[in-house]
Amino acid sequence: MLSPSIVTVADAYWASHLGCPGDQLFAEPLNIITHGEELSDYRGAFALFRNEAAIASVPPTCVDKLKVLLSPVLSGCSPESFATALAPVASMVIGPAYIGYAEAVTPPEHPARNLLPDDASALDALQQACDPTEWEHGGSYRTLESNVGSIRIAEALGFLQYATSMAVRLK
């Protein structure tokens, strides 16, 4: 179980990302809000699930339509029921995804450094070698729950699950 201090930091991050007060996170079985600044250009619904509660951020232009679709799961929502409810307007479903954090990270035994402008061509080559979906999903401490190997590596490194996310891109 994550310590209360880590949960507080993670809650602050996700509240900022979603554009809502921290006390709205996981306060209801399903709390539907409109996208904040960080998600303002995302044409989809993004939801976080933890401890039998969820928060979903949706575009303001279609909030009424999505609330109607999600109304059957307002009293209890899972990542799967969220995706199923939005299936009529979905173009792609990404998730469920494991979001984990570590209390401490052991320093690597190899040298590491921040990327520099001179590294741009090597970074571009790496991006070109990756599947576009892999590249889009990289760079964060989350992975699809179906990627059991990645989750096992994260847990071996001391990561613990904070929440589950689900993203539904709209048609």
- Give the model's pLDDT for residue 140: 59
Provide CB contacts within 8 A for 23, sequence distance 6+. none
Max CA separation in the chain (angstroms): 53
- Give the model's pLDDT for residue 109: 79
Distance CA 70, CA 91 (A): 16
- Give the model's pLDDT for residue 21: 93
- Quote the pTM value: 0.82
Distance CA 120, CA 139 (A): 16
Q: Answer for the pair 18, 163: CB distance below 8 angstroms, yes or no.
A: no
Task: Please give the structure tokens belonging to residue 131.
Answer: 């599947």
What is the tens place of the pLDDT at every residue in 69-86?
999 999 999 999 999 999
- Give the model's pLDDT for residue 127: 86
With residues binned 3-state (H G I as helix, E B as strand, rest as coil), the percentages for the chain, rounded to 5, are 45, 25, 30
Region class of 159: left (phi > 0), else alpha (psi between -120 and 50), else beta: beta
User: Burial of 34 by CB count in 10 Å (0-12 exposed, 13-18 middle, 19+ buried)?
Assistant: middle
Distance CA 21, CA 168 (A): 23
- Give the model's pLDDT for residue 137: 62
How far CA 121 is from CA of 112, 124, 127, 139, in Å, comes to 18, 5, 10, 18
- Nearest in space to 148 (alpha carbons), one of 136, 139, 156: 156
- Give the model's pLDDT for residue 41: 92
- Give the model's pLDDT for residue 138: 63
**Per residue of the chain (171 residues), what is the pLDDT tens digit?**
899 999 999 999 999 999 999 999 999 999 999 999 999 999 999 999 999 999 999 999 999 999 999 999 999 999 999 999 999 999 999 999 999 999 887 777 777 778 889 999 998 898 888 877 777 666 658 788 998 998 998 898 899 999 999 999 999
- Give the model's pLDDT for residue 104: 85
